[in-house]
Amino acid sequence: MENFTPFLSLSGGLIIGIAATLLLAAGRIAGISGILGGLMPPAPAADRKWRWLFLLGLIGGAVLFPILGGDISYIDINPYNFSDEVHYGALIIGGLLVGMGTTIGSGCTSGHGICGLGRLSARSLVSVCTFMAVAGVAVFVIRTVMGG
């Protein structure tokens, strides 16, 4: 069952846009991989405070939403009925591939899609088009080839 939530989606998008704009006004990009990467050595320690605060807000908001009465009952955590069995090797390989992709692509989906497109970056436009094409192929494979 699909859940159409235009007002919730619009408000979430506005909040993300405002946060990205405020961060950009401060001379920073709201790309999660870049923010997280800036916490890893040998990155300079000078601007780690704002990075930790950003990540704390990202995680804290998700944790506080249901605690403060937000309804998450409509979220289907397993929409394709995949097995709940965890394959740690696949998780490790997937994590390494994502890390390699964000390094090769000079950013992640949030950095390119939200901030890069907002700055009219040609590199981000190519990246977002690539993300969307690969996502389309993945959906086709999961729904058609794998029968999900």
Q: Over the stretch 129-138, which tens digit does the pLDDT of each residue have?
A: 998 999 899 8
- What the block records as the tokens of 143 is 């729904």
- Full domain range(s) for residue 86: 6-145
Residue 20: how many other CB atoms lie within 10 Å:
19
pLDDT < 50: residue spans in the chain: 1
- From 112, 114, 110, select the one nearest 126 (Cα to Cα): 112
**pTM beyond 0.85, yes or no:** no
Q: How many distinct structural domains can be found in the chain?
A: 1
> Does 1 map to a domain?
no
> Does 135 map to a domain?
yes
What's the pLDDT score for residue 89? 83
> Does 94 map to a domain?
yes
Which tens digit of pLDDT belongs to each residue from 32-54? Answer: 888 888 888 887 878 888 899 98
- 118, 135 in Cβ contact below 8 A? no
